[in-house]
A = this chain, B = another copy of it.
Amino acid sequence: MKVRTLIIGAGAGASYFLVGLERARETGDLTGVPLARHLKYYRPEDIEVIGLVDVEVTKVGSTARSIASKLVPGVDPPKDLDGLVVQRGLHCGSLKGLPVKAMGLEEVLGSVQEAFDQFIALLDELRPDVVVNAITTEPLRYAETEEEFASKASSCQGGATMAYAYAVAEHSRRSGRHVAFINLTPPPIANSPGVVSYYARIGSLVLGDDAATGATPLTADILEHMAERERRVLSIAQFNIGGNSDFLSLVEPERNYSKEITKGAMVKDILGYDAPHYIKPTGYLEPLGDRKFVAMHIEYEGFGGFRDEIAVSARINDKSNLAGLIASVIPVAKGLVDRGISGTHATANRFFMKLPGPKDLRITSKIVAYYDLLEELRRLDLAT
């Protein structure tokens, strides 16, 4: 059974995903898709991408194939992607300050209200089961109540991510279709109580926030390893440097900030105390491209007061990571919606996200989250 999927943000993550999905279909190779061997009913192969949305002027109207040919190195994208043309979405200032030219529906139409109407009409036409938000990282804005969500989102003042979440909710509410909105970016959607309760009320689901890619999941699991041995972690330093637009956009402190709070909560929740840490995307170095360089250093004390140290140097393709995660979270989300789950789903968020909602949820290591999720999916007859 197909999972009709709309992707918002025609960037590298979406491109790696689209190219990799075709490759996976052809070869049957699901390497890099978490849970792939366990999923049933809905599986990665069932994903059908029915739409792609962006606001960059160079992308709107282009095919997924031409975009992928620029963003996915060393790959000749499949011809099928010629049929997927980028449609214009909502801007809400999300790319302000970055060196790209953007034009959202509200800018073309001259009216935010009309922009929402038109975007919801697009949703009505596409009838997605799952909407994946993979736009550029925006500054953080919360919605405590449903009213705040509706008013901030519908006026574009909550940013593009919130606007899309709202449009999808409106489509769901009006049509009675239950939809999953998956927020892979840091702005709080699953962490906004107003969004979660709105979605709960209409029988739809948000998963989020901030897809757990890169080195942070590994750091989480290394910290779990320390915690289980009751080691006292004295300091944690983790640097990231990359050469794609993510790192370029993080040079703006406001966008970077949203990355920081995620890590502090992780350290405290897994270790049980707030070990001194410095975990941040650090810089931009163009030749690295999507294969970022990560350096980590952890010093800790063991039994008898002796000190050990671990240093990690890694080269990690964040976009390949993200694409594999997308291929897993889409069928999971569709399955959860089918089983009647609405609002948000802490267990799925804990595994797939860096800042799992709902708000103030205790973070666990990824290994723990994985087994909790697998058990839950088995209980729901969604996994073997």
Q: Using a CB–CB distance below 8 Å, which chain A residues touch chain B?
A: 16, 19-20, 23-24, 30-37, 72, 75, 217-218, 221-222, 224-225, 228-232, 234-235, 237, 239, 241, 243, 276-278, 280, 282-288, 291, 293, 295, 297, 299, 301-317, 320-321, 323-324, 327, 365-368, 370-371
Which residue, of A75, A308, A370, has the highest number of chain B Cβ atoms within 10 A? A308
Q: Tell me whether B237 and A293 are in contact (CB under 8 A).
A: yes
Q: In whole angstroms, how far apart are the Cα atoms of A312 and B16 in the complex?
A: 28
Q: Tell me whether B317 and A314 are in contact (CB under 8 A).
A: no
B residues in contact with A241, CB < 8 Å: 237, 239, 278, 297
Q: Tell me whether A306 and B284 are in contact (CB under 8 A).
A: no
Q: Tell me whether B230 and A303 are in contact (CB under 8 A).
A: no
* Identity of the chain B residue whose Cβ is nearest the Cβ of A284 in the assembled complex: B278
Which residue, of A218, A303, A305, A310, has the highest number of chain B Cβ atoms within 10 A? A303
Q: In whole angstroms, how far apart are the Cα atoms of A310 and B315 in the complex?
A: 6
Q: In whole angstroms, how far apart are the Cα atoms of A284 and B311 in the complex?
A: 17
Q: In whole angstroms, how far apart are the Cα atoms of A298 and B307 in the complex?
A: 18
Q: Tell me whether B295 and A297 are in contact (CB under 8 A).
A: yes
Instruction: Give this chain's copy count.
Output: 4
Q: In whole angstroms, how far apart are the Cα atoms of A312 and B20 in the complex?
A: 29
B residues in contact with A317, CB < 8 Å: 302, 306-308
B residues in contact with A19, CB < 8 Å: 304
If the complex has contacts A235-B285, A316-B308, are A370 and B221 also in contact, measured as CB distance less than 8 A? no
Q: Tell me whether A370 and B228 are in contact (CB under 8 A).
A: yes
* Identity of the chain B residue whose Cβ is nearest the Cβ of A309 in the assembled complex: B315
Q: Tell me whether B367 and A283 are in contact (CB under 8 A).
A: no
B residues in contact with A299, CB < 8 Å: 287-288
Question: Which of B229, B285, B295 contacts A276, CB < 8 Å?
Answer: B285
Q: In whole angstroms, how far apart are the Cα atoms of A33 and B227 in the complex?
A: 10
Q: In whole angstroms, how far apart are the Cα atoms of A96 and B75 in the complex?
A: 44
B residues in contact with A311, CB < 8 Å: 293, 295, 311-314
* Identity of the chain B residue whose Cβ is nearest the Cβ of A229 in the assembled complex: B34
If the complex has contacts A19-B304, A368-B371, are A285 and B228 also in contact, measured as CB distance less than 8 A? no
If the complex has contacts A218-B225, A285-B276, A303-B327, are A239 and B34 also in contact, measured as CB distance less than 8 A? no
B residues in contact with A32, CB < 8 Å: 229-232, 301-304, 306
The smallest C-beta distance from A99 to any residue of chain B, in angstroms, reads 18
Task: List 9 other contacts, CB 8 Å, given A31-B305, A310-B316.
Answer: A16-B304, A31-B301, A217-B225, A224-B367, A237-B283, A276-B287, A293-B311, A295-B295, A311-B314
